[in-house]
Chain A
């Protein structure tokens, strides 16, 4: 029995993060468009970010990670930006070569 009126706690954030993560994962798994996959990645990363922020907040928990959690979130954002730049470059090159960005067509490196 969920108590909707209980104060906002870590668990609420975790739920939101889990929703984001699952959405992103599903997005990655289902989208054939490379840009869609990238968006899924962003969602997954941000799901994780929500968790870090939640664990880092000293209002929500007594034994919080403190600034560590927020710093990690910042790192993830930076990494996501870098990852997006690289991935978009790959996508652009892939498009130049194959005239498509369908990830199912990109299986030339399979074993």
Chain B
């Protein structure tokens, strides 16, 4: 435990700093790194790869052994000791002495408090409020020395701090792992940039294509900075630091989206992403101000530090102010916000401090009075969420993300599936304790609109990356909606699983684009034969995002109603379960249509997701080639590109499994692939005609994997099976705390958020306990609905695009207006153009006219007057007075000189006479006026 206190911040801090170091190194030495900056790629990959190693070390060596998973979900007695010991003070010292955490049994208004170390056995496990284990403190140089404090203003302490819980560690592993694979992938994908690059999409003034030097090193430079920003955002221990990294992430995405800066579309897209994000950040700043004025701190956790006088001071952080231990971690308007809102009343007390009873009266708004400060809390929550809306491309700020596909594909994979857009969801999850029920409802509504809208748009898009972009928006909508309806774990789990399969899908699409040099799916088709690895890994991605799986299968292995499926299966089902539970708790569908709509949109969205994903797969990889020329030139990508795909495909399948599921799934896959492999061996022999041909061509003709890759699926499923067996044994024998992904994430569920909530301003709204959503009744119904909708979408796509039973063109004609509506992205761009851009242009023109006609006229007039005055003043002062006096003096001197000239006759004897006369005159004068004492 002591070791973790020091090592977790140290390792994660180092993981944050490594990409920054790589960024600076490439910034300074980039162009000189090897041939055209080739080493820059290796450096950046090495930095992020090492960061990934550090992250996994923190997870497996320092987190998992110290925090037994599931301890908090059952009973909570084990976790309390951890939570207490985990509190960190400045510089990694333990300050657990006074930090005992009350747990409370809440039942029928009867509160019991029990302190750390006492027995919890008498308590009902389900009612125990559990504080997630976390480490918080301020970063110091290499773990010792004084903390990095940027400033201290009264109680507000701005420092480079950290807040590490299992969510942070999981995010670190996810981000660094995916980023490493993307870096490796990018070394292959960006090889065009290694030499001079001709951009066929840019035409210069002389009609030629733009020819420019490669920017390989610059690409990796920005990737490194991007990874640094994202990791810093995740590790940040206070919201001000989050905001700084938030903006850094924004600027990095600006650089990367606008990487092909000469393309007008790319630079516009970069601008759009940046500006749209600023709109959200404006809301975030409002939220920050509300938090700071109300709470006086930016820090998530409690901050312990030594002040100037040497006293140990602990200021409560945001979380412990909003959900106080005295209040059993229930959300309540914090004291600071109450006092701020009731400042007139406080002033009216005439200097007497209001006592706790008075504050409680203001807080609860007794006798139908105002609930002081509650709106401030809501505004703070919605303000922070507004930032997340911009960053995570939620309605109404979703328009930037599809355009952001102008960047190179590795960027799309990194920025727009795993990291940047994940930042918004991460912040909502991190800030979860602060969101009032009303803010949660806003989040749910925004997420619901987003998920449905983006899913429908993805149906009609033909640009392969745009389909994925809208799919990303839709999935982010899922996450937001999940968080909004109280499914904290489901939302965060979906964040992680989605990161894996969406980056997989993006990189597959990049591989396709790399092969055929177009984004348009209408020019693809049949590529399965040319790009077997890409095709099948992408199929895995499609299955994962559609949530493919076999429900209830694990019942045979003693796991209740759990199913076996791809990673998306678990997270999406969890979201749907909570949405269903939310609907039930709110008396829907008839009493509360809105609550029912959440579930309906999520279930419908699942069907649409399956539909557009398989539409994409069929259009790209199945059927006949639509463009023979492009098909002929297509080729499988180099190993640097397809190895990350394979790794991610495995993760997309297996990341959410528990050991038993791993054993079953691994076994099924192993057997299946082994049979397939056997068949593969048989096939060429059956067709001797091909034997003369080149092996690879032959494989390609069969639509098979290259020969050297045929054993790969068997090997991979064997590895998964082996890991599953090892972890199963380890878990059974208590050798090691094995945690599944969801158990790990459950470990950091914010204190008090499990209990559910009730609307305060919105009476009658209920947020049910997330664990209640796992009741068999709900799981049974929802699993059937989920798999049914997904299968419906899949079947529909197969009919239309796979088998051609239903002509897409006919459907298009049938629903012409809807098709237009969807094709134009619900006319959001046009709407915003009409709402914001056009008026701004109009106002600009008006102000420009005013500027030209009036302001210029005035300024010209002033200038003319000034000039005239200057001319006059020049004449008067300079020429007449100054010059005049000097000239007069000169004239005098001259005339004196002229007149004295006549004296200089040149006659020596005359001069002597002058001397003599002068001497005598002086002598005489002195004799008259000066008493000659010397001559006495």
- The answer for the CA separation of A40 and B913 in the assembled complex, in Å, is 13
A103 near B908: Cβ-Cβ < 8 Å: yes
- The answer for the CA separation of A10 and B905 in the assembled complex, in Å, is 39
Q: Determine whether B806 belongs to the interface, using a CB cutoff of 8 Å to chain A.
A: no
Q: Determine whether B907 belongs to the interface, using a CB cutoff of 8 Å to chain A.
A: yes
Q: Determine whether B912 belongs to the interface, using a CB cutoff of 8 Å to chain A.
A: yes
Contact string against A for B residues 904-923, beta-carbon threshold 8 Å, 1 for contact and 0 otherwise: 11111100110010000000
B901 near A29: Cβ-Cβ < 8 Å: no
B904 near A29: Cβ-Cβ < 8 Å: no
Chain A contacts for B904, CB-based, 8 A: 110-111
B903 to chain A, nearest CB (A): 8
B912 near A107: Cβ-Cβ < 8 Å: no
Chain B contacts for A110, CB-based, 8 A: 904-907
The residue of chain A having its C-beta at the shortest distance from the C-beta of B904 within the complex is: A111
Contact string against B for A residues 39-72, beta-carbon threshold 8 Å, 1 for contact and 0 otherwise: 0100000000000000100000001000000000
A25 near B905: Cβ-Cβ < 8 Å: no
A104 near B912: Cβ-Cβ < 8 Å: no
B933 to chain A, nearest CB (A): 9
B909 near A103: Cβ-Cβ < 8 Å: yes
Chain B contacts for A111, CB-based, 8 A: 900-904, 906
The residue from B909, B934, B935, B936 contacting A30, defined by CB atoms under 8 A apart: B909
The residue of chain B having its C-beta at the shortest distance from the C-beta of A34 within the complex is: B908
Say yes or no: A107-B907 contact (C-beta < 8 A), given A25-B916, A29-B916: yes
A29 near B906: Cβ-Cβ < 8 Å: no
- The answer for the CA separation of A111 and B902 in the assembled complex, in Å, is 7
Q: Determine whether A19 belongs to the interface, using a CB cutoff of 8 Å to chain B.
A: no
Chain B contacts for A10, CB-based, 8 A: 935
- The answer for the CA separation of A29 and B914 in the assembled complex, in Å, is 10
- The total number of A-B Cβ pairs within 8 Å is 42
Contact string against B for A residues 10-26, beta-carbon threshold 8 Å, 1 for contact and 0 otherwise: 10001000000000010
- The answer for the CA separation of A25 and B908 in the assembled complex, in Å, is 12
Number of interface residues of A (CB under 8 A): 20
Chain B contacts for A25, CB-based, 8 A: 912, 916
B906 near A109: Cβ-Cβ < 8 Å: yes
Chain A contacts for B901, CB-based, 8 A: 111
B916 near A32: Cβ-Cβ < 8 Å: no
Within 8 A of B (CB), among A57-102: 63
Chain A contacts for B902, CB-based, 8 A: 111
- The answer for the CA separation of A103 and B935 in the assembled complex, in Å, is 37
The residue from B905, B909, B935, B936 contacting A28, defined by CB atoms under 8 A apart: B909
B905 near A107: Cβ-Cβ < 8 Å: yes
Chain A contacts for B936, CB-based, 8 A: 63
A37 near B906: Cβ-Cβ < 8 Å: no
Chain A contacts for B935, CB-based, 8 A: 10, 14
Q: Determine whether A3 belongs to the interface, using a CB cutoff of 8 Å to chain B.
A: no
A104 near B913: Cβ-Cβ < 8 Å: no
Chain B contacts for A29, CB-based, 8 A: 909, 912-913, 916
The residue from B900, B903, B907, B916 contacting A104, defined by CB atoms under 8 A apart: B907
Chain A contacts for B913, CB-based, 8 A: 29
Most buried by B among A32, A104, A109: A104
Chain B contacts for A109, CB-based, 8 A: 906
Chain B contacts for A40, CB-based, 8 A: 912
The residue of chain A having its C-beta at the shortest distance from the C-beta of B920 within the complex is: A25
A62 to chain B, nearest CB (A): 10
B906 to chain A, nearest CB (A): 3
Interface residues on B, range: 10 to 19
The residue from A14, A55, A63, A106 contacting B908, defined by CB atoms under 8 A apart: A106
The residue of chain B having its C-beta at the shortest distance from the C-beta of A63 within the complex is: B936
The residue of chain B having its C-beta at the shortest distance from the C-beta of A32 within the complex is: B909
- The answer for the CA separation of A110 and B900 in the assembled complex, in Å, is 12
A108 near B906: Cβ-Cβ < 8 Å: yes
- The answer for the CA separation of A109 and B913 in the assembled complex, in Å, is 18
Chain A contacts for B900, CB-based, 8 A: 111
- The answer for the CA separation of A111 and B908 in the assembled complex, in Å, is 13
Chain A contacts for B905, CB-based, 8 A: 107, 110
A69 to chain B, nearest CB (A): 11
- The answer for the CA separation of A106 and B904 in the assembled complex, in Å, is 13
B893 to chain A, nearest CB (A): 15
Chain B contacts for A104, CB-based, 8 A: 907-909
B909 near A106: Cβ-Cβ < 8 Å: no
- The answer for the CA separation of A31 and B904 in the assembled complex, in Å, is 19
B912 near A106: Cβ-Cβ < 8 Å: no
- The answer for the CA separation of A25 and B920 in the assembled complex, in Å, is 11
Most buried by A among B900, B901, B908, B909: B908
Chain A contacts for B907, CB-based, 8 A: 103-104, 107, 110
Chain B contacts for A106, CB-based, 8 A: 906, 908
- The answer for the CA separation of A109 and B901 in the assembled complex, in Å, is 11
Chain B contacts for A31, CB-based, 8 A: 909
- The answer for the CA separation of A109 and B907 in the assembled complex, in Å, is 10
A1 to chain B, nearest CB (A): 20
A93 to chain B, nearest CB (A): 15
A3 to chain B, nearest CB (A): 18
Chain B contacts for A32, CB-based, 8 A: 909
Within 8 A of A (CB), among B94-151: none
- The answer for the CA separation of A108 and B904 in the assembled complex, in Å, is 11
- The answer for the CA separation of A111 and B934 in the assembled complex, in Å, is 40
Most buried by A among B906, B907, B936: B906
- The answer for the CA separation of A29 and B915 in the assembled complex, in Å, is 10
B935 to chain A, nearest CB (A): 8
B785 to chain A, nearest CB (A): 123
B908 near A37: Cβ-Cβ < 8 Å: yes
Chain B contacts for A30, CB-based, 8 A: 909
Say yes or no: A107-B909 contact (C-beta < 8 A), given A25-B916, A29-B916: no
Chain A contacts for B934, CB-based, 8 A: 55
B765 to chain A, nearest CB (A): 113
A24 to chain B, nearest CB (A): 10
Most buried by A among B905, B906, B912, B936: B912
The residue of chain A having its C-beta at the shortest distance from the C-beta of B934 within the complex is: A55
A38 to chain B, nearest CB (A): 11
Chain B contacts for A103, CB-based, 8 A: 907-909
Chain A contacts for B903, CB-based, 8 A: 111
- The answer for the CA separation of A110 and B934 in the assembled complex, in Å, is 40
B563 to chain A, nearest CB (A): 123
Chain A contacts for B906, CB-based, 8 A: 106-111
- The answer for the CA separation of A106 and B912 in the assembled complex, in Å, is 14
Most buried by B among A63, A107, A109: A107
The residue of chain A having its C-beta at the shortest distance from the C-beta of B901 within the complex is: A111
- The answer for the CA separation of A28 and B906 in the assembled complex, in Å, is 15
Chain B contacts for A63, CB-based, 8 A: 936
Chain B contacts for A55, CB-based, 8 A: 934
- The answer for the CA separation of A32 and B908 in the assembled complex, in Å, is 9
The residue of chain B having its C-beta at the shortest distance from the C-beta of A109 within the complex is: B906
B932 to chain A, nearest CB (A): 11
- The answer for the CA separation of A16 and B912 in the assembled complex, in Å, is 21
B915 to chain A, nearest CB (A): 8
A97 to chain B, nearest CB (A): 16
Contact string against A for B residues 925-936, beta-carbon threshold 8 Å, 1 for contact and 0 otherwise: 000000000111
Chain B contacts for A14, CB-based, 8 A: 935
12 new A-B pairs (CB below 8 Å) besides A30-B909, A107-B907, A110-B905? A25-B916, A28-B909, A28-B912, A29-B916, A37-B912, A103-B909, A104-B909, A107-B905, A107-B906, A108-B906, A111-B902, A111-B903
Ordered by A's residue number, 27 sampled pairs between the chains whose C-beta atoms are within 8 Å are A10-B935, A25-B912, A25-B916, A28-B909, A29-B913, A31-B909, A32-B909, A37-B912, A40-B912, A63-B936, A104-B907, A104-B908, A104-B909, A106-B906, A107-B905, A107-B906, A107-B907, A108-B906, A109-B906, A110-B904, A110-B907, A111-B900, A111-B901, A111-B902, A111-B903, A111-B904, A111-B906
Give me the 10 closest cross-chain CB pairs, A-B, nearest first: A107-B906, A110-B906, A111-B904, A111-B901, A103-B908, A28-B912, A25-B916, A29-B912, A29-B909, A110-B904
